[in-house]
Amino acid sequence: MKKLIVTALAAVFAVSSLPLTAQDAQKEIERYRQLLADGNPAELLEMRGEALWKQKRGPKNATMEACDLGLGAGKVAGVNAVLPRYFADVDRVMDLESRIVHCEITLQGFTMAELTKRPHSLAQSERQTDHEALTAYVVGQSRGAKVNVPQTHVKEQESFLRGEKMFFFKGGPYDFACATCHGVDGQRIRLQDLPNFQKADNAQRAFTTWPAYRVSQGAMRTMQWRLLDCFRQQRLPELEFLSPASIDLITYMGVKGKNGVMDAPAIKR
Amino acid sequence: MNKKSVIGTSLILTATAVLAGCVAMDAGNKAAPVAKAPTDAEIVALLKASFKNTPSAGHNRLDQSPLQKACTEASRTGKPVDDKVRISLQEAAMASVKYPADGKYLGDWKKGEAIAQNGRGLQYTDAVGAASGGNCYACHQIDKKEIAHGNIGPTLWNYGKLRGGPTPEITKYTWTRIWNTHAFNACVNMPRFGDAGILTEAQIKDVMALLLDPASPVNQ
């Protein structure tokens, strides 16, 4: 009798622990996300980034501490919530990553070529790059800041308009646009939920949780990487790092995500 | 004061107010030009300046076909494609469909399942000429056993069973759908697996078997 009960209980537990439908799997994934939230390895990268930020580097042997990320020279806190934005010194709109690179060139004397050669650590178990570390640090200093990507300068407005037009651009052998996946409510690819950028809450959640530590890759990925990887799967060509299209699309997403509360680097599957 | 002078005075006052407003606006807005909406040509130029041109994924992928142009505009504005244009796009899509020369439509459902599961091919990271998968599970439920499926397309569970099996009509319809779905309704989000050269004829036959072969797990 006892054996029968034990066997029956084992069977019940075995069956109940198997996700039987996609909906069950979604609940398990949500539980997994909650478990992940405690202890984000990106914080280690933020610490490394902070050390790099304050370290004298490059031919000019200078730190990044005088960098103007949009809120004045030396101010790091809150910048990611108000980028991309227009910068008078270069007379164009820049996103966070292009501004970091700009400061590394002007303050520290690095060249564009060496900074854009390998910004993302894409090989298996590759050590995260200095760019990823610096980005992690600066982004982390915006936690809690309210997203307010500016649309006051005409170039900021035009960046948004270009980003919006590109968001709907169908191209390549799959005919995919960003909007194909990110323009409708409640869509998912496999079991990955897709934010609808026409819905404010979806756009806020998306914009405030990238960059993020991608558990499945064992690495923190930046917003530039996120776009690169989208376009790869869309079957469009390889996106250039810090390209004008990338900046315009980030402007578009940031404006759509207005009033979201920054919570990056986040942690994702 | 007579009526004429009242009207005259009020006209002058209005005109002055308008002029004052213009001056004030002009002074404030002198350094603020109006944002210009980008043209299609500007966007294509911008994209080509922003993407690499490599053998695995070249700039030609940024040249839009009439179908892509029309569907982009519809998606962006929320206005469906004009009926006449839509019908002509659908007719062109229908005309593009290539049916198997040997008249055989069903391949191996086991291979079809593998093709449906495989999300590789045609990415800039994929080898040129390497076989693609269909990545069908990205958007569709197919075999119920596979719970990691998307919801962008309708469920295909029991596809053949619900349609009376691989009849000539259903077979031809399904082939057309997979080859170029725009033959039936332009601007649906599903890729043109045959027309765009994503899957080979043999691969599509295998996917057809997955959907229509009575022995396929999909039809149990």
Span A175-185, pLDDT tens digits: 999 999 999 99
pLDDT in tens, A18-72: 567 888 888 888 888 888 777 899 999 999 999 999 999 999 999 999 999 999 9
pLDDT of residue A38: 77
Give the E-state strand segments of chain A in sequence order: 85-87, 92-94, 188-189, 192-193, 212-214, 219-221, 266-268
DSSP B96-123: H----TT------HHHHHHHHH---SSS
- For chain A, how many structural domains are there in total? 1
Answer yes or no: are the C-beta atoms of B191 and A173 closer than 8 Å.
yes
DSSP three-state, residue A73: strand
- Token pair listed for B60: 């030609």
Q: Do A179 and B150 touch (CB under 8 A)?
A: no
Best CA proximity match to B204, nearest among B82, B115, B89: B115
Does the pLDDT of residue B3 top 80, yes or no? no
Residues of A catalogued as catalytic: 230
- Token pair listed for A109: 């004397």
Question: What is the length of chain B?
Answer: 220
- Distance separating alpha carbons of residues A92 and A90, to the nearest angstrom: 6
* Of B68, B124, B147, Cβ closest to residue A25: B147
Measured at the alpha carbon of residue B207, what is the angle toward residues B120 and B136, in degrees to the nearest 5?
45
- Distance separating alpha carbons of residues A236 and A174, to the nearest angstrom: 9
Any domain includes A1: no
**Domain residue spans of chain B:** 41-219
- Distance separating alpha carbons of residues B160 and A15, to the nearest angstrom: 29
Average pLDDT on A73-101 reads 98
Find chain A residues with C-beta within 8 A of B152's C-beta: 181, 184, 187-189
Query: CB neighbours (10 Å) of residue A123?
Result: 8
pLDDT in tens, A84-94: 999 999 999 99
Q: Which residue has the tokens 């004298």?
A: A56
Answer yes or no: are the C-beta atoms of A148 and A63 closer than 8 Å.
no
Does the pLDDT of residue B186 top 80, yes or no? yes
Does the pLDDT of residue A100 top 50, yes or no? yes
Measured at the alpha carbon of residue A32, what is the angle toward residues A27 and A37, in degrees to the nearest 5?
130
The answer, for B96 touching chain A at a CB cutoff of 8 Å, is no
B205, with CB counted inside 10 A (0-12, 13-18, 19+), is: buried
- Distance separating alpha carbons of residues B211 and A119, to the nearest angstrom: 44
DSSP class of residue A61? T
pLDDT of residue B31: 63
DSSP class of residue A171? B
Written as one letter, the residue type at B136 is C
pLDDT of residue A36: 79
Does the pLDDT of residue B100 top 70, yes or no? yes
pLDDT of residue A125: 83
Q: Do A245 and B50 touch (CB under 8 A)?
A: yes
Search chain A and give the residue with CA nearest B191.
A174
Average pLDDT on A217-244 reads 97
Strand partners, A146: A261
pTM score: 0.89
pLDDT of residue B11: 54
pLDDT of residue A115: 98
Q: Do A171 and B61 touch (CB under 8 A)?
A: yes
User: Which residues 143-202 of chain B have a CB within 8 Å of chain A?
Assistant: 147-152, 189, 191-192, 196-198
Does the pLDDT of residue A232 top 90, yes or no? yes
Does the pLDDT of residue A17 top 80, yes or no? no
- Distance separating alpha carbons of residues A224 and A222, to the nearest angstrom: 5
Q: Which residue has the tokens 């944002």?
A: B35
pLDDT of residue A26: 81
Q: Do A161 and B125 touch (CB under 8 A)?
A: no
- Token pair listed for A12: 């019940």
- Token pair listed for A198: 């026409």
Return the CATH number at A50.
1.10.760.10
Average pLDDT on B40-64 reads 97
Answer yes or no: are the C-beta atoms of A149 and A85 closer than 8 Å.
yes
Any domain includes A54: yes
Find chain B residues with C-beta within 8 A of A179's C-beta: 75-76
pLDDT in tens, B160-175: 999 999 999 999 999 9
Lowest mean pLDDT among B32-36, B149-153, B210-214: B32-36
* Of B54, B137, B189, Cβ closest to residue A190: B137
Local confidence band at B20 (pLDDT 50, 70, 90 cut-offs): very low
Does the pLDDT of residue A197 top 50, yes or no? yes
Q: Do B149 and A22 touch (CB under 8 A)?
A: yes
CATH 1.10.760.10 holds for B41-219: yes
* Of B47, B76, B192, Cβ closest to residue A175: B192
DSSP three-state, residue B217: helix
Best CA proximity match to A239, nearest among B52, B115, B193: B52
DSSP three-state, residue B197: coil
Q: Do A154 and B57 touch (CB under 8 A)?
A: no
Give the pairing type, strands A192-193 and A212-214.
Answer: unpaired
Measured at the alpha carbon of residue B70, what is the angle toward residues B67 and B72, in degrees to the nearest 5?
100
- Token pair listed for B110: 């086991």
pLDDT of residue A31: 84
Give the E-state strand segments of A179-265 in sequence order: 188-189, 192-193, 212-214, 219-221
Local confidence band at B213 (pLDDT 50, 70, 90 cut-offs): very high
Answer yes or no: are the C-beta atoms of A79 and A141 closer than 8 Å.
yes
Does the pLDDT of residue A208 top 60, yes or no? yes
DSSP three-state, residue A220: strand
Cis peptide before A84 (omega within 30 of 0): yes
Any domain includes A22: no
Compute the mean pLDDT over every residue in chain B, rounded to the nearest whole number: 91
